[in-house]
A and B are shown apart, each in its own frame.
Chain A
Amino acid sequence: MTFSLLHATDFADRLLYKIIPPLKAGMIVLADRYAYTAFARDVTRGVDREWVRDLYSFAVQPDLALYFRVPIDVSLDRLMARRVKLKFYEAGMDLGWSTNPLESFRLFQGKVLGEYDRLVSEFGLEVVDARGSITDQQRHVRQLVGRFLAGSQTETVHDAIV
């Protein structure tokens, strides 16, 4: 609960200082993780699903939300290739499901992925297959973003000309 509220407090601060002002100025804001992270992570930690959605109802609904989906084994391989130890919270060690970090990571992130799958339909997240190469993923992302921007307002272009 405290974990969830601490993150929400941090998010509120960033929303008000880093996200809303540039949006008002007509800029594009790229958010690395958003409220969906909290929905997946906090619910896995035992927080009520509806409560946490209600908590974040002050958040701006993104115009486009991309979800990079990857199986646990792939994410584990990538993490292990780069560093020796998994982080305590990232492996969900605080939940006490397993004393083995690898095993705990598998259990915890497995549930997190389950929550994400629920979010995809609930909030209309665009799924990007993150197993592919960076180039392939980036191509897909640019396609999605390009299509979205082409279909949206042109107001910012006028601003730029002035």
Chain B
Amino acid sequence: MTPSSDAENPGANEEIQAGRYYGRGVPYLPINEYPGKLIAIEGTDGVGRTTQIQLLREWLEVKGYGVIETGWTRSLLMQPTIELAKSSNTLNKLTFVLLYATDFADRLEKEIIPALKAGFVVLSDRYIFTALARAGVRGIDRQWLRSLYGFAIAPHLVFYLKVDVETLIGRVLEARGMDFWESGMDLKLGDDIYDSFRAYQNRLLREYASMADEFHFRTLDARRPVDRIQDELRRQVAGFLEP
């Protein structure tokens, strides 16, 4: 209820430091000098993130790294609540944003920070950028969102699997069909799920594109074969972990 200062918000300046909090952080959890590494894999639905993470994990483990995975809305505390809220019609966009943030906070404290402390490589299937993109498309104030996620840790590497809408549509239809939320039907962009999906995903892609510089994305062309993308990922991860 006070006017926000944007001085310490993520993206407000160029001083994002990998492995540190973006903004004001969690005062009771100092995280400086933890040995673990945080790697985020971002991208819209159906872009092949999960497959890539599985392959990357196997490779890292064979090389002797301890690896844990964390994924959006996977916190034990919040997942049932989020599913329940999604299945009813009472979910407002603001409540939606805060539910996601709560889920993330839970995973940050219980999974991500302990793993970084213990020297693990944390592979994050989606990260705060998913939340920023989805909320941005729904008209939530960008500065407020960045301040909200000021307690998030800036990953050491952010890979963005980029795809165009045409490719995405083909993949999603082949795999499982379009669902209500992935199509942004709550935005009432169109009655037809196909039209809505196309319009919504286009807007999401624009949001991601606008964050690429701000958050130092490493963009990968996700239209290529799985193996080619994986090779590129491994090359860049190896370059970072074992320079």
CB distance from A55 to the nearest CB of B (A): 6
Q: How far is the CB of B139 from chain A (nearest CB, A)?
A: 13
* Contact status of A55 and B148, CB under 8 A, knowing A9-B99, A16-B94: yes
Binds B, one of A46-54, A81-89, A109-117: A46-54
Question: How distant is the Cα of A12 from the Cα of B93 in the complex, in angstroms?
Answer: 10
Asked if B26 contacts A1 (CB within 8 A), the reply is yes
Interface SS majority for chain A = helix
Count B-side interface residues using an 8 Å CB cutoff: 30
Q: Does A64 lie at the interface of the complex (its beta carbon under 8 Å from any beta carbon of B)?
A: no
CB atoms of B24 and A48 under 8 A apart: yes
Q: Is the CB of B102 within 8 A of A12?
A: no
A17 to chain B, nearest CB (A): 8
Q: Which residue of A lies closest to B108 (CB)?
A: A1
Contact residues, A3-18 vs B (CB, 8 A): 4-6, 8-9, 12-13, 16-17
- Given known A-B contacts A12-B92, A56-B1, A123-B1, A51 and B147 have beta carbons under 8 A apart: yes
* Contact across chains for B25 and A48 when beta carbons are under 8 A apart: yes
CB proximity to A under 8 Å, residues B1-44: 1-5, 8, 23-28
A51 to B7, CA, bound (A): 12
State whether the Cβ of B144 lies closer than 8 Å to any Cβ in chain A.
yes
Contacting pair A1 B151 (CB below 8 A): yes
- Option from A2, A9, A50, A59 in Cβ contact (under 8 Å) with B109: A2
Give Cα A123 to B26, complex, Å: 24
B92 touches A16 (CB 8 A): yes
Q: Is the pair B148, A54 in contact by a Cβ cutoff of 8 Å? A: yes
A5 in contact with B101 (CB, 8 Å): yes
Whether B95 pairs with A9 at a CB distance below 8 angstroms is yes
A35 CB-CB contact with B under 8 Å: yes
Assess A59 versus B28: contact at CB under 8 Å? Given A2-B106, A54-B148. Answer: no
| B150 is an interface residue with CB less than 8 A from chain A | yes
The answer to whether B1 touches A61, judged by C-beta atoms less than 8 angstroms apart, is yes
- List the B side residues contacting A59 at CB < 8 Å: 1
- Closest CB in chain A relative to B103 CB, distance in Å: 9
In the complex, B178 has a CB within 8 A of chain A: no
A-B contacts besides A48-B26, A51-B150, A54-B148, 5 pairs, CB < 8 Å: A9-B98, A12-B95, A13-B92, A51-B147, A59-B1
Query: Can you show 17 pairs from A to B with CB atoms below 8 A apart?
Result: A1-B26, A1-B108, A2-B106, A6-B102, A9-B98, A12-B92, A12-B95, A13-B90, A16-B92, A46-B28, A48-B26, A50-B24, A51-B147, A53-B1, A54-B147, A57-B3, A61-B1
